């Protein structure tokens, strides 16, 4: 992201007049913010306690932060009893929002005039009833109860939040698997959590095509012995589904027998009880199941909805993410509902049938808050301003992005073209592990001056720092590791942080820089205290804002009959930020060809998912490795970017200089040929 680096330490934007019109923001300079922030850290537990008490508890917590016998596992509000499904639904139904719209859902298909064919508006009362019905079915038909585990593999349809909330209501632990993932990815996750029920759909629409989701789920089920039952939502009404007698049931058929007034008592859960597990993958090993709880997580979402989105009853919140990723969990499902907000949920592709789909949605429902991603912005930017300008965006008052660093030109486009310089535009930094936003502009707290591309300042009560490998704070302007110094509500939760693997939790997040939460990101703090997250310090890929583990991708390649070994590295891409490029060595008996490269791309598409298809596949005779067998990915990246070997030798400490040079030259020749 080269244009970013040039604006670091750059000028503030003179914006206040127009931005002032779009909201009642409190403007402060960075110094004032930093002072206010310091105060929140001084009384840090008290500070979070007050926020926690703004929520409804079946039993109010007396304790705030508690260590347990396992280092780095913390309990937040441990003696409190709570249920996020109750906060999201019952509280709103009881407090005057009964007939307020909770979700505006728009399906992808359009009529001949380009207007959406399906729009559903669900009030809080309707959503509450649907969730009660779904809970009832989980409980009485499948006998599920607190502590049981289920998988949810659904597209962006209302049943997705409905089942998340229905499971939460009963204290059932769920894992949502992104509907764009393949059977293998689904099976890995179902097996890790040992789900006994899978909830899926017959299919869904994506860019005008029908994706037969149940067929994919069927393949996963062959590999997932723990799953005893399958509940199928009929989104499309597809024929020829393989419904296994006694195992598979249609949701609508089971619903028929349920009385519309059915009520399922929400479980009064201890704050630290697990709400969900969401998998995220890295450079080694299987994906990590990050755990989040009911209490701490709800408190963080409540706080961030207020500070970052300045959420008000009259807002229409539009987050363009998919609920299959953490952004959707936190800011389409739980965050907005806890606050009693109205939010928009869109099923399909952002450029279908035309590149103005997102802006038409903003116009149609008068969205006031837009939460999107740099990748989406860069994609739409390329298609021209006219698509934006022909739609009314005058209702928008706050815009944020998430997922990867936003380059200043994409930032400017959001600020100038989309928001017409009326809206603060931010780049909220967080990750699956943090549960909610950690660093951001905070229009609902105190708003500091914008700078294009920055993440701005840490949120109140959040102690982040940029440090060297020993944990010492870096001077302003110097690049270091982004860490979190103190526990926060919403952090990976008790009892293990990572589902079934406490040791790994400690090793990945707390042992790298002893005692500090290691995010894996590079960052710079500038002279005004603003934080600029630069990207991953590890070899995790960020494709279109999604974290793609090189390990999973390489394993998929190696599972192809022709492949002996594979290494995947990220290559800069104008739209997606980064795209995977693969280096492959073949088994004897196979030889490289353009056809084989295409076949391998198709293999990844089918076996891993379309988001991770490599832009290029290079065939090499051997992969460059250190003596301990670690693939020298940095060397591969330098080759791709046509950078000289340079200080590569210092980076790969285990390999001899000669070996590295030899590998560099050999592969350089080989990739020129292929």
User: Considering the complex, what minimum distance in angstroms separates the CB of residue 482 from ligand WT7?
Assistant: 8
Contact letters (x/-) for ligand WT7, 270-299, by CB under 6 A?
----------x-------------------
**Binding to ligand WT7 by residue 427, rule CB under 6 A?**
yes
What is the DSSP secondary structure assignment for residue 241, as one 8-state letter?
-
Choosing from 295, 492, 520, 570, the residue that interacts with ligand WT7 (CB under 6 A) is 520
User: Considering the complex, what minimum distance in angstroms separates the CB of residue 533 from ligand WT7?
Assistant: 4
Which structure tokens are listed for 210?
């029908």
Tell me which stretch binds ligand WT7 (CB under 6 A): 85-93, 423-431, 585-593, 655-663: 423-431
**Binding to ligand WT7 by residue 399, rule CB under 6 A?**
no
**Binding to ligand WT7 by residue 52, rule CB under 6 A?**
no
**Binding to ligand WT7 by residue 521, rule CB under 6 A?**
yes
User: Considering the complex, what minimum distance in angstroms separates the CB of residue 521 from ligand WT7?
Assistant: 5
DSSP 604-633: HHHHT-GGG--SEEEE-SS--B-TT--B-H
For β-strands 274-280 and 288-293, DSSP reports them as: antiparallel
Q: How far apart are CA 179 and CA 184, in angstroms?
A: 12
**Binding to ligand WT7 by residue 519, rule CB under 6 A?**
yes
Choosing from 348, 403, 424, 458, the residue that interacts with ligand WT7 (CB under 6 A) is 403
Tell me which stretch binds ligand WT7 (CB under 6 A): 133-141, 214-222, 430-438, 490-498: 430-438
User: Considering the complex, what minimum distance in angstroms separates the CB of residue 21 from ligand WT7?
Assistant: 26
**Binding to ligand WT7 by residue 536, rule CB under 6 A?**
yes
How far is CA 141 from each of CA 137, 138, 229, 251, rounded to the nearest angstrom?
A: 5, 6, 10, 11
User: Considering the complex, what minimum distance in angstroms separates the CB of residue 371 from ligand WT7?
Assistant: 10
Nearer to ligand WT7, 93 or 431 (CB): 431
Contact letters (x/-) for ligand WT7, 436-475, by CB under 6 A?
-------------------x--------------------
Tell me which stretch binds ligand WT7 (CB under 6 A): 110-118, 257-265, 295-303, 401-409: 401-409
Backbone phi, psi, residue 322, to 5°: -100, 140
Contact letters (x/-) for ligand WT7, 319-358, by CB under 6 A?
-------xx-------------------------------
- Structural contact between residues 54 and 300, judged by C-beta atoms closer than 8 angstroms: no
Nearer to ligand WT7, 40 or 428 (CB): 428
Report which of 619, 645, 642, 613 is spatially closest to residue 632, judged by C-alpha positions: 645
**Binding to ligand WT7 by residue 428, rule CB under 6 A?**
yes
Choosing from 101, 122, 236, 533, the residue that interacts with ligand WT7 (CB under 6 A) is 533
Nearer to ligand WT7, 232 or 326 (CB): 326
DSSP 314-349: T-EEEE-S-TTSHHHIIIIIIHHHHTT-EEEEE-S-
Nearer to ligand WT7, 134 or 531 (CB): 531
Q: How far apart are CA 513 and CA 560, in angstroms?
A: 38
What residue has token string 């980064």?
578
Choosing from 235, 547, 576, 625, the residue that interacts with ligand WT7 (CB under 6 A) is 547
Nearer to ligand WT7, 373 or 585 (CB): 373
Neighbouring C-alpha atoms within 13 Å toward the C-beta of 520: 19
Which structure tokens are listed for 621?
């005779």
Tell me which stretch binds ligand WT7 (CB under 6 A): 32-40, 210-218, 294-302, 516-524: 516-524
Report which of 307, 303, 294, 309 is spatially closest to residue 342, judged by C-alpha positions: 309
Choosing from 202, 339, 404, 528, the residue that interacts with ligand WT7 (CB under 6 A) is 404
What residue has token string 């593999």?
153
Nearer to ligand WT7, 359 or 430 (CB): 430
Nearer to ligand WT7, 504 or 546 (CB): 546
User: Considering the complex, what minimum distance in angstroms separates the CB of residue 374 from ligand WT7?
Assistant: 8
User: Considering the complex, what minimum distance in angstroms separates the CB of residue 279 from ligand WT7?
Assistant: 10
Q: How far apart are CA 668 and CA 636, in angstroms?
A: 9
Tell me which stretch binds ligand WT7 (CB under 6 A): 8-16, 222-230, 243-251, 519-527: 519-527
**Binding to ligand WT7 by residue 402, rule CB under 6 A?**
yes
How far is CA 209 from each of CA 91, 109, 185, rounded to the nearest angstrom?
A: 39, 9, 22
Tell me which stretch binds ligand WT7 (CB under 6 A): 151-159, 515-523, 601-609, 657-665: 515-523
Nearer to ligand WT7, 182 or 454 (CB): 454
Nearer to ligand WT7, 195 or 533 (CB): 533
What is the DSSP secondary structure assignment for residue 311, as one 8-state letter?
-
Which structure tokens are listed for 331?
């800011």
Find all residues with CB under 8 Å of 273, minimum gap 6, and list them: 146, 171, 293, 294
Q: Within a 10 A sphere around the Cβ of 112, how many other Cβ atoms?
A: 5
Choosing from 297, 307, 309, 429, the residue that interacts with ligand WT7 (CB under 6 A) is 429
The percent helix, strand, coil of the chain (3-state, each to 5) is 35, 20, 45
Tell me which stretch binds ligand WT7 (CB under 6 A): 101-109, 239-247, 428-436, 627-635: 428-436
DSSP 67-125: E-SSTT-EEESTT-EE-HHIIIIIHHHHTT-TTSEEEEEE-S-B-TTS-BS-EEEEEHH
**How many positions of this chain bind ligand WT7 (CB under 6 A)?**
21
User: Considering the complex, what minimum distance in angstroms separates the CB of residue 541 from ligand WT7?
Assistant: 10
Region of 285 (left: φ > 0; alpha: ψ -120 to 50; beta: rest) is: left
User: Considering the complex, what minimum distance in angstroms separates the CB of residue 344 from ligand WT7?
Assistant: 18
Tell me which stretch binds ligand WT7 (CB under 6 A): 9-17, 263-271, 402-410, 649-657: 402-410
Counting DSSP H helices and E strands in the chain, the numbers are 24, 29
Report which of 544, 543, 527 is spatially closest to residue 582, judged by C-alpha positions: 543
Which structure tokens are listed for 662?
């030899």
User: Considering the complex, what minimum distance in angstroms separates the CB of residue 290 from ligand WT7?
Assistant: 8
* DSSP three-state, residue 378: helix
Q: How far apart are CA 530 and CA 454, in angstroms?
A: 7
- Residues interacting with ligand WT7, by CB under 6 A? 280, 326-327, 402-405, 427-432, 455, 519-521, 533, 536, 546-547
């Amino acid at each position: 992201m080269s244009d970013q680096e040039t604006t670091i330490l750059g000028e503030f934007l003179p914006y206040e007049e127009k931005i002032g019109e779009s909201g009642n923001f409190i403007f402060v300079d960075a110094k004032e913010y930093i002072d206010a922030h310091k105060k929140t850290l001084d009384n840090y537990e008290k500070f979070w306690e007050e926020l926690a008490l703004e929520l409804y508890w079946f039993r109010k917590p007396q304790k705030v932060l508690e260590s347990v016998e396992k280092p780095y596992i913390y309990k937040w509000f441990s003696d409190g009893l709570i249920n996020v499904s109750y906060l999201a639904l019952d509280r709103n139904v009881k407090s005057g929002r009964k007939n307020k719209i909770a979700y505006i859902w728009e399906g992808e298909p359009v009529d001949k005039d380009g207007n959406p064919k399906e729009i559903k508006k669900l009030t809080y009362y309707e959503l509450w009833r649907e969730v009660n019905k779904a809970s009832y079915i989980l409980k009485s038909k499948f006998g599920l109860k607190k502590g049981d585990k289920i998988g949810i593999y659904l597209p962006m349809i209302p049943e997705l939040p409905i089942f998340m909330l229905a499971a939460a209501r009963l204290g059932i632990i769920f894992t949502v698997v992104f509907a764009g993932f393949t059977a293998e990815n689904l099976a890995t996750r179902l097996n890790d959590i040992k789900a006994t029920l899978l909830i899926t759909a017959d299919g869904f629409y994506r860019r005008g095509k029908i994706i037969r989701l149940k067929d994919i789920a069927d393949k996963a089920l062959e590999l997932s012995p723990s799953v005893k039952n399958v509940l199928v939502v009929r989104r499309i009404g597809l024929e020829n589904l393989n419904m296994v007698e006694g195992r598979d049931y249609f949701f609508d058929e089971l619903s028929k027998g349920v009385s519309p007034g059915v009520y399922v008592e929400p479980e009064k859960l201890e704050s630290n009880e697990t709400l969900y597990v969401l998998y995220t993958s890295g450079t080694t090993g299987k994906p990590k199941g990050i755990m989040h709880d009911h209490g701490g997580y709800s408190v963080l979402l409540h706080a961030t909805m207020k500070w970052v989105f300045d959420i008000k009853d009259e807002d229409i919140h539009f987050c363009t993410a998919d609920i299959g990723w953490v952004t959707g969990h936190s800011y389409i499902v739980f965050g907005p509902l806890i606050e009693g907000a109205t939010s928009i949920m869109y099923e399909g592709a952002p450029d279908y049938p035309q590149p103005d789909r997102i802006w038409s949605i903003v116009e149609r429902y008068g969205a006031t808050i837009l939460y999107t991603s740099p990748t989406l912005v860069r994609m739409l930017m390329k298609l021209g301003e006219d698509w934006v300008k022909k739609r009314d965006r005058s209702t928008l008052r706050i815009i944020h992005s998430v997922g990867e660093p936003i380059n200043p030109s994409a930032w400017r486009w959001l600020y100038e073209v989309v928001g017409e310089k009326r809206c603060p535009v931010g780049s909220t930094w967080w990750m699956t592990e943090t549960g909610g936003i950690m660093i951001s502009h905070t229009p609902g707290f105190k708003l500091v001056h914008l700078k294009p591309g920055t993440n701005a300042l840490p949120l109140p009560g959040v102690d982040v720092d940029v440090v060297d490998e020993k944990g010492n704070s870096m001077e302003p302007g110097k690049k270091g590791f982004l860490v979190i110094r103190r526990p926060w509500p919403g952090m990976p939760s008790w009892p293990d942080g990572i589902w079934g693997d406490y040791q790994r939790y400690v090793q990945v997040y707390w042992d790298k820089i002893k005692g500090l939460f290691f995010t894996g990101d590079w960052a710079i703090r500038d002279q005004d205290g603003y934080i600029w997250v630069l990207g991953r310090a590890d070899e995790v890929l960020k494709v279109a804002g999604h974290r793609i583990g090189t390990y999973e991708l390489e394993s998929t390649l190696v599972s192809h009959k022709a492949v002996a070994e594979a290494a995947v590295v990220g290559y800069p891409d104008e739209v997606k930020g980064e795209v995977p490029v693969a280096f492959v060595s073949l088994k004897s008996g196979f030889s490289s060809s353009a056809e084989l490269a295409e076949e391998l791309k198709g293999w990844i598409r089918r076996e891993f998912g379309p988001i991770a298809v490599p832009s290029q596949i290079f065939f090499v005779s051997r992969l460059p490795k250190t003596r301990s067998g670690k693939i020298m990915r940095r060397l591969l990246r330098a080759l791709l970017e046509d950078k000289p070997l340079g200080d590569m030798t210092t980076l790969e400490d285990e390999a001899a200089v000669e070996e590295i040079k030899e590998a560099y030259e050999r592969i350089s020749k080989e990739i020129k040929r292929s």
